[in-house]
Amino acid sequence: MFLSVQNTFREAFISAANADEMIAKLLKTAPGAPVLSIEVKLSCQNGEAVEYRLTNVHLGLLKFYSRTRYNPSFRNLR
């Protein structure tokens, strides 16, 4: 028997933080080193949380890439 849950909402919170001793040990860095903290919560249609994830990333050689598609129809929106 399989339980089928349709995820409806995805919330993500991204923040900068300093690694505490446990996170520093796991990421093999010094306590207080800058890390990116990413919290993700997935909820189903009735609002019940079905997944929660907390990820910490050491910022060593991290790069972000963003690509945006230009849409001229957005020019006149106010």
40: domain CATH number is 3.40.1410.10
Q: Would 52 be classed as within a structural domain? A: yes
Q: Which residue has the higher pLDDT, 8 or 71?
A: 8
Q: Would 2 be classed as within a structural domain? A: no
Residue 25 to residue 38: CA distance in whole angstroms: 18
Could you tell me the pTM of the whole model?
0.62
Range of the domain at 18: 7-74
The pLDDT assigned to 21 comes to: 97
Q: Which residue has the higher pLDDT, 45 or 33?
A: 33
Q: 73: pLDDT confidence band, cut at 50, 70 and 90?
A: low
Report how many domains make up the chain: 1
The pLDDT assigned to 2 comes to: 43
